[in-house]
Amino acid sequence: MNTRIKELRARYNLTQEELAKKVGVRRETIVFLEKGKYNPSLKLAHDVAKVLETTIEELFIFDDGD
């Protein structure tokens, strides 16, 4: 899974720490999300998308392996 979190976070001048505080997780969680090494819960995906003023579909790019 790829994400656009880093790109959209930069648009709003948010650090990983600031985004993490806004969605109630640790900074490390944001690091793992940005690297595609963590599949978020639906609630976390929704919260991140809301803070970054986008949709879950725009934020996360699911690779089906084809």
Percent of the chain with pLDDT over 90: 83
pLDDT digit string (tens) for 19-31? 999 999 999 999 9
**Global pTM value:** 0.89
Domain residue limits, the chain: 2-61
Supply the pLDDT for residue 64. 66
| Burial (CB count <10 Å: 0-12, 13-18, 19+), residue 54 | middle
CATH architecture for the domain at 2-61: Orthogonal Bundle (1.10)
